[in-house]
Amino acid sequence: MGLRLGDDAPNFTAETTEGTINFHEWLGGGWGILFSHPKDYTPVCTTELGYMARIKGEFDKRGVKILAISVDPLDSHRGWTKDINETQNCTVSYPIIADPEKKVADLYDMIHPNSLDSMTVRSVFVIGPDKKIKLMLTYPASCGRNFDELLRVVDSLQLTAKYKVATPVNWKDGQDCIITPAVNDAEAKTLFPKGFKAIKPYLRLTPQPNK
C-alpha cells in the first residue's frame, strides 16, 4: 500500500546538489516540499524548477524548505541547472536529490507502474513540522504544475494547524474562513472574537483569525 495523507514521511539520506542530507534533520522543525520530476533536460520541468526558484522567497517567508528529486546523477543536475537559470531567468537555490538507484523514489512511490520504470512521476509532497504528509499531488507529464496553488495550500495548512477553521473553495490568504463543525456556537464566540456569520448551522464564516 502506498503513502497516504497523515502518514509519517519516510526519512532518507541522499546526495544532493548541495551535499549529503538526512531528510528529517534537514527539515528540522519546519515545513517542507518534496517534488519529483521525470528526468533532467525535459521541457515542462525546466519551466517548473525555474518558477519554483523565482518564488522560493515566498516559501522562505512561510518557513518551508524546498527539495527536488529525480533519478538522474549529480553531474546531470548541475548541467541542467545552468540551462534552467539561463532560460527561466532565475537562480536555482534549493537542493536537487540525485537518486540513480531509485531509493527515495521507491520510498515515496514515485515510480508509476504505467510509466517508464526509469522515470519518477511528477509528484508533490507537503510535509509538516511533525514529519507527517499533509498533501500529495501527482501530475501527468503533459501538464505543468501550479506552484502558486502550493503556496495557497501551505497558507491553508499552516492556518488550520493553529486555529479551528477550514478554508472554503478557492480561498486565498486574508479571506474569510469556515469554523469547523466540532466547535459549537458558544465556543466560537470565545475562539473567534471578530465574530462569525452563520449561513447554515453547519456553515459559519469568520474573518481569518491571524489577520
Which residue numbers are catalytic? 45
Strands 133-139 and 165-166: unpaired
Question: Minimal CA–CA distance to 103: which of 23, 1, 18?
Answer: 23
Given the C-alpha cell 519516510, which residue does it identify?
A: 10
CA distances in angstroms from 64 to 26, 50, 160, 198, listed in the order given: 11, 17, 16, 34
How, if at all, do strands 177-179 and 165-166 pair? antiparallel
Residue 62 identity (one-letter amino acid): R
| Cell numbers representing residue 182 in the block | 466540532
Q: Give the integer Cα–Cα distance in Å for 24 and 13.
A: 9
Cross-strand partners of 205: 178, 197
Q: What are φ and ψ of residue 52, in 5° steps?
A: -60, -40
